[in-house]
């Protein structure tokens, strides 16, 4: 491979995908019709498709998989050359599926890249279109992404886990010792003044019983 | 050159999940030499390290829109208490004599994969329970090489059980984090009075997670913020 292995900073406009010149006329590109506009470019090096400014697809064909380790060299070279999020799309067919576990182990465990199997070029076409579509969506619309902003665990909820402490006693205790930190540092006498001797002992016991030999 | 494996790796499995996959557990034990402990994890199917949860889904589950709400809720919950979340997509089993159905790949399935990747979930594909066990064992070993292996006793007895429940009530605390807390702090008082650094090291969590726990333990109760209950109720 001549020149740079990866071109940094390739950013397709909305609804477009930057395609390596070698895929012109392929079934994958034909499958984009009506969903995605392809921009063909030379000099993309190892990358087959640029989805956005930070993510790209490298394609491993059935024959590439069956032929042996050529694709590995390519993927290692990509990993070393860039920090782009690489999605490796691999043709998993009846002929190549026996090689799939090894590819997965190599790509995911050793290189830490994403691997997605497809059965054919037309499936790859659908998948790439979907990946591009998803890139342009707002993060807030992703159902799998947790909304930021910590939820608070009320001290009451925590105090209820202490043996002998129900809702009434938890509220009484927290009126005097508002946080779990303060409650843990209350003396037996201070606790007794609020909840009585038995519960006071139970609370002290909960915080101070030795659990593990300190290391 | 990998460092020699001094200890066998340990994996926690959810007690509810065993009905769905006893082969996975026996395969982990017998073929891969993994120590397994069945616990009530609730939120996930497997915990393979101090920071990684693994959810197992069949191909038909993940490609059906009926399940999306539940799957999304589960993945979000996992991200709330684990730094790494991994999803194993397993091929559906076929009964003896049954012809395996051809998987019809849908746009819906592709959009689910795309959204999962964008949410930072790691995806693995498995051809069946044995393959799933091999993937779990490999994940646990990779995590061990990165010094995140589960390294505390996984059985909880007596006094520790109550303490475990208390720790599990803290925000962002997973079952393995609570176990680490039980075994690495000499008392609940010790944990509650620890500095952020000490919390992070003892509970084996990231600094932001330790900060969240620290804040929660010092968060002051305001009686006025409680929802009003009807008088005499």
Q: Are B125 and B14 in contact (CB under 8 A)?
A: no
Q: How far is A14 from chain B (nearest CA, A)?
A: 17
Q: How far is A18 from chain B (nearest CA, A)?
A: 18
B3 vs A57 pLDDT, higher one: A57
Residues of chain B with Cβ-Cβ distance to A127 below 8 Å are 110, 113-114
pLDDT of residue A10: 80
Give residue for tokens 């089993």: B93
pLDDT of residue A150: 53
Joined together, the tokens standing for residue A115 give 């691997």
Strand pairing class (A49-50; A55-60): antiparallel
DSSP class of residue A6? B
Q: Which among A1, A3, A6, A9 is positioned nearest to A81, based on CA atoms?
A: A6
pLDDT of residue B199: 97
pLDDT band at B222 (very low <50, low <70, confident <90, very high): confident
Joined together, the tokens standing for residue B128 give 């069946």
B197 vs B100 pLDDT, higher one: B197
Count of A–B CB contacts within 8 Å?
A: 167
Q: Which of residues 14-53 of A touch B (CB under 8 A)?
A: none
pLDDT of residue A1: 44
Q: Are B57 and B90 in contact (CB under 8 A)?
A: yes
**B162 and A206: CB-CB below 8 Å?**
yes
**B186 and A207: CB-CB below 8 Å?**
no
Please calculate the CA angle A152-B48-A214 and round it to the nearest 5 degrees.
70
pLDDT of residue B111: 93
- What string of DSSP letters covers A103-137? HHIIIIIIS--EEEEESSHHHHHHHHHHHHHHHTS
The CA distance from B162 to B118, in Å, is: 38
pLDDT of residue A11: 86
- What string of DSSP letters covers A201-213? HHHHHHHHS--S-
Distance of CA A196 to the CA centre of its chain: 50
pLDDT of residue B4: 52
The CA distance from A43 to A205, in Å, is: 70
Is residue B6 predicted with pLDDT exceeding 70?
no
pLDDT of residue A105: 95
Is residue B102 predicted with pLDDT exceeding 60?
yes
pLDDT of residue B228: 60
Residue ranges of alpha helices (H) inside chain A are 27-31, 62-67, 70-81, 100-104, 121-135, 155-159, 167-176, 180-184, 188-195, 197-208
- pLDDT averaged over chain B? 89
Q: Are B51 and B148 in contact (CB under 8 A)?
A: yes
Q: Is A193 helix (H, G, I), strand (E, B) or coil?
A: helix
What are the angstrom distances between the C-alpha of A2 and each of A45, A46, A49? 8, 10, 18
Which tens digit of pLDDT belongs to each residue from B60-81? 989 888 888 889 999 999 999 9
A102–B contact, CB cutoff 8 A = no
Query: If you average pLDDT over residues B113-120, what whole number do you get?
Result: 94
A194–B contact, CB cutoff 8 A = no
- B216's torsion region: left (phi>0), alpha (psi -120 to 50) or beta? alpha
Which tens digit of pLDDT belongs to each residue from B148-205? 999 998 888 877 889 999 999 998 999 999 999 999 999 999 999 999 999 999 999 9
Q: Search chain B and give the residue with CA nearest A184.
A: B189
Q: What is the ipTM of this complex?
A: 0.89
Query: If you average pLDDT over residues B205-230, what whole number do you get?
Result: 84
Q: What is the pTM of this model?
A: 0.90
Joined together, the tokens standing for residue B85 give 């979340």
A27 vs B19 pLDDT, higher one: A27
Q: Is A165 helix (H, G, I), strand (E, B) or coil?
A: coil
Neighbours of B21 (CB within 10 A): 20
B93 vs B101 pLDDT, higher one: B93
- How does pLDDT run along chain A (215 residues), one tens digit per residue? 445 788 877 889 989 999 999 999 999 999 999 899 999 999 899 999 999 999 999 999 999 998 888 899 999 999 999 889 999 999 999 999 999 999 999 999 999 999 999 999 999 999 999 999 988 888 888 889 877 655 666 788 888 899 999 999 999 999 999 999 999 999 999 999 999 999 999 999 999 998 865 44
pLDDT band at B223 (very low <50, low <70, confident <90, very high): confident
């Amino acid at each position: 491979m001549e020149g740079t292995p990866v071109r940094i900073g390739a950013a397709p406009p909305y609804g477009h995908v930057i395609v390596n010149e070698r895929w012109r006329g392929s079934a994958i590109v034909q499958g984009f019709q009506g969903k995605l506009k392809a921009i063909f470019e030379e000099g993309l090096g190892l990358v087959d498709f640029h989805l956005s400014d930070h993510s790209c697809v490298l394609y491993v064909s059935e024959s590439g998989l069956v032929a042996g380790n050529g694709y590995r060299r390519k993927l290692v070279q990509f990993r070393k050359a860039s920090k782009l999020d690489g999605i490796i799309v691999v043709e998993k067919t009846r002929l190549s599926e026996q090689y799939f576990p090894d590819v997965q182990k190599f790509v995911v465990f050793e290189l830490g890249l994403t691997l997605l199997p497809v059965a054919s070029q037309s499936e790859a076409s659908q998948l790439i279109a979907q990946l591009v579509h998803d890139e342009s969506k707002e993060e807030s619309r992703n159902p799998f992404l947790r909304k930021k902003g910590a939820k608070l665990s009320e001290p009451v909820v925590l105090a209820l886990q202490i043996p002998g402490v129900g809702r009434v006693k938890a509220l009484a205790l927290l009126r005097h010792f508002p946080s779990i930190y303060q409650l843990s540092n209350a003396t037996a006498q201070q606790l007794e003044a609020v909840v009585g001797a038995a519960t006071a002992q139970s609370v002290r016991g909960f915080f101070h019983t030795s659990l593990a030999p300190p290391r | 050159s990998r460092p020699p494996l001094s200890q066998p790796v340990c994996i926690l499995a959810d007690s509810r999940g065993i009905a769905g996959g006893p082969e996975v557990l026996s395969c982990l034990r017998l073929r891969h030499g993994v120590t397994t402990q069945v616990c009530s994890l609730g939120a996930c199917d497997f915990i393979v390290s101090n920071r990684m949860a693994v959810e197992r889904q069949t191909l038909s589950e993940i490609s059906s829109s009926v399940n999306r709400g539940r799957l999304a809720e589960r993945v979000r919950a996992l991200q709330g208490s684990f730094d790494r979340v991994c999803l194993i997509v397993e091929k559906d089993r076929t009964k003896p004599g049954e012809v395996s159905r051809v998987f019809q790949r849908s746009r819906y399935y592709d959009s689910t994969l795309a959204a999962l990747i964008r949410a930072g979930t790691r995806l693995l594909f498995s051809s069946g329970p044995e393959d799933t066990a091999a993937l779990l064992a490999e994940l646990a070993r990779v995590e061990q090489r990165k010094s995140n292996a589960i390294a505390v006793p996984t059985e909880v007895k007596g006094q520790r059980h109550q303490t475990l429940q208390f720790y599990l009530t803290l925000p962002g605390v997973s079952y393995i984090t609570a176990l680490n807390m039980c075994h690495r702090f000499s008392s609940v008082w010790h944990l509650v009075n620890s500095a952020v650094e000490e919390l992070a090291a003892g509970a084996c969590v990231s600094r932001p997670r330790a900060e969240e726990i620290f804040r929660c333990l010092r968060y002051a109760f305001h009686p006025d913020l409680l929802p009003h209950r009807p008088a005499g109720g």
